[in-house]
Chain A
Amino acid sequence: MNEDQTLEARTRPVSAAGPVVAAHFLGATAAFVLGEEAVLLLSAHDERRVAVHAGGILAVAADGGGVVTGGDDGNVVITHADATSVVVARDPAGRWVDRVAIGPKGAIAWAAGKSAFVMTADGTPRALELPSSIGGLAFAPKGFRLAVAHYNGVSLWYPQATSAPQMLAWKGSHLKVAWSPDARFLITAMQEPALHGWRLADRTDLRMSGYKTKVRSLDWTASGDWLATGGADQLVLWPFQGKDGPMARSPRLLASAPASVLEVACHPKEDLIAVGYAHGLVLLVRIKDGAELIARRPDDQAVSALGWNADGTLLAFGTESGAAGIIDLR
């Protein structure tokens, strides 16, 4: 790739009028979720602003069909490409809903305080009380199972069973949680600059450390071979091929820059990663040879959101200051 080329000419600029906390695609429509109140929907010829919460938007999850948000108004809302939005749940005590997840067949999970809730697309919510505030939620790739991260570990919950959840213990505050695509490993980002993990077959602990700051963004590559992470001044890729995953192996370090990696988003088909930095740079990084393509030049507006469409032809980005855009890679 020619380093002098950038994708600027292929970028449709978007002014979000507020910090962008997430960027997703609903089919061909780009959805930019703002820090407060609204989701901005952009289709080929149309731009619509949908009011979804009466205050801050604290959590976002999406599958191709809808964007689920949790707010400080205690509501869980789903927004669709046609600009309709529905309150799917309210916290009974009006607490902040600050974690949400989408699972198989449109199942939605959310957390408020120490309570986790799950609702199937047509069922009643089930609730689980945890011993401490919930730091992260993630549905397993197969089956109907939820990982709930909290202080001192992760609870694995089968919401439709009556048995108590299984606990994977490790001291500290576990925040984001993510399953490997083959469900063999479970990874958490901690408050410390480190990741923790478990090989689920035998509950072996994994520790991935060396970060500069806590890891705010992590994503699996399409092949499942790599876990891309932010939290350093370069892209940190942990290898997950083979039965031992990253154990006793070093990460691959690519795409160094004079700023922290804040956001990572893996291409849905290729082993290619979009990387967003604190100084505004967005790079596309090819794992095979570390080649980099500048998708957005640095301009001191920290990248706060990245999202690919389903076939990897469009990349949406957002920043803390509201500058956003859609890059067309066709």
Chain B
Amino acid sequence: MTDRIPVTVLTGYLGAGKTTLLNRILSEPHGRKFAVIVNEFGEIGIDNDLIVGADEEIFEMNNGCLCCTVRGDLIRIIEGLLRRAGRFDAIIVETTGLADPAPVAQTFFVDEIVGRKTKLDAVVTVADAQWLERQLHEAPETKNQIAFADVILLNKTDLVSAASLRELEERLRALNPYAMLHKTQRCRVALDAVLGRNAFDLERILDLEPAFLGPVDAHHDHDEDHEHDDHHGPDHRHGQGGLVHHHDEDMRSIALATERPLDPDKFFPWVQDLVAKDGPNILRSKGILAFKDDPERFVFQGVHMILDGDHQRAWRDGEKRESRIVFIGRELPEERIRDGFAACQT
């Protein structure tokens, strides 16, 4: 059985540098060939046989209890591209500036042919350092793109001061602590930082540390240490092992951890119910799970209501058997989630 074709989703506001990055990918002498699916034709400077225009048509699919938005046009384009599968090694999907990455990602989970022949590699978001602050304020879609990303390129760093850059970096980390963040000019970054990431590969869920942290105090519980009844101003911050929270952010992440084994008969119904009810608000989820009496690690990842999980490998001798879960989303009912998770522990 041939390997599945990797698909990279490239997102970001108009002018942030997606086209620059795309042109770099297509013109570097790496020997790989790409099929590119774009929304704005004619912007790509390199002559490439396999550039297809897409219409970004989204429809809502009802599949039993699962209800999600899907890029119908992508399914058809990918089916068409698969006719020429020998002529390219990977696919890049570029989305328009305000696009929500979720329908694109979900498309790869709901179609049998697409799911069998291709695999989602990573969501790469290009952010414009000069305008990001304003975009986050004016366009909520920008937050979606940041929170959804596996890789973020904070681009045009030459156009902002060092102090601004630090603030932007903190802001991005607050929205998405788990993405790999690169500061770039003209999207200049090694291509293996954006391609071949395997970010949706269950085999590759090795740990769930925030991308920039060193050893983490897994037991630090933020809520125990601070009172939040009195309202602080927008620049109230506190650190948690280097992670700065902006408390005006409606988009945030919740990290759960426990060394107590989980009961699978409680955990699966709980997490499925959680994503069914709160799915629209949960952008992405990831977990490494230690079940009671189970010698294997179980890993899962999710996009809104869609969950994908499997046993990954045996727990190694001497390896700490610990469960860790991350949810990234907006208006997440944190207390209810923590309570629900606690009830799954044995």
Contacts and interface: CB of A to CB of B under 8 A. Distances in A.
Report if A and B associate in a common complex. yes
Interface of A: 19, 21, 35-36, 55-58, 72, 95-96, 98, 113-114, 132-133, 135, 151-152, 171-173, 191-193, 213-214
Interface string B75-88: 11000110110000
Contact of B112 (A19, A132, A173, A214): A214
Given A114-B55, A191-B59, 7 more contacts: A19-B83, A56-B83, A56-B84, A58-B83, A172-B62, A173-B72, A192-B61
A191 B57 contact: no
A36 B83 contact: yes
Nearest to A57: B83
Contacts of A192: 61-63
B74 to A, nearest CB: 11
A213 to B, nearest CB: 4
A96 B84 contact: no
A192 B70 CA distance: 11
Contact of B76 (A36, A98, A214): A98
A98 to B, nearest CB: 6
Contacts of B83: 19, 21, 35-36, 55-58, 72
Interface string B145-156: 000000000000
B80 A58 contact: yes
B1 to A, nearest CB: 9
A191 B55 contact: no
Nearest to A35: B83
Contact of A36 (B75, B84, B110): B84
26 contacts: A19-B83, A21-B83, A36-B83, A55-B84, A56-B84, A58-B83, A95-B53, A98-B76, A113-B55, A132-B57, A133-B72, A151-B57, A151-B59, A152-B59, A171-B60, A171-B62, A172-B59, A172-B60, A172-B61, A172-B62, A173-B72, A191-B72, A191-B111, A192-B62, A192-B63, A193-B63
Contacts of A173: 59, 61, 70, 72
B80 A72 contact: yes
A191 B61 contact: yes
B63 to A, nearest CB: 5
Interface in B289-341: none
B73 interface: yes
A171 B59 CA distance: 9
Interface of B: 52-53, 55, 57, 59-63, 70, 72-73, 75-76, 80-81, 83-84, 110-112
A7 to B, nearest CB: 28
A36 B84 CA distance: 7
Nearest to B1: A300
Contacts of A96: 52, 80
4 nearest CB pairs, A to B: A56-B83, A35-B83, A213-B112, A173-B72
Given A36-B84, A96-B52, A133 B76 contact: yes
A55 B80 CA distance: 10
Contacts of B61: 172-173, 191-192
A96 to B, nearest CB: 6
A132 B56 CA distance: 10
Nearest to B83: A56
B63 A214 contact: no
B62, B63, B76, B112 — most chain A CB neighbours (10 Å) = B76
Contacts of A55: 83-84
Given A214-B111, A214-B112, A191 B70 contact: yes
Contacts of B80: 56, 58, 72, 96, 98
A133 B112 contact: no
A132 B70 CA distance: 14
A213 B72 CA distance: 16
A98 B72 CA distance: 14
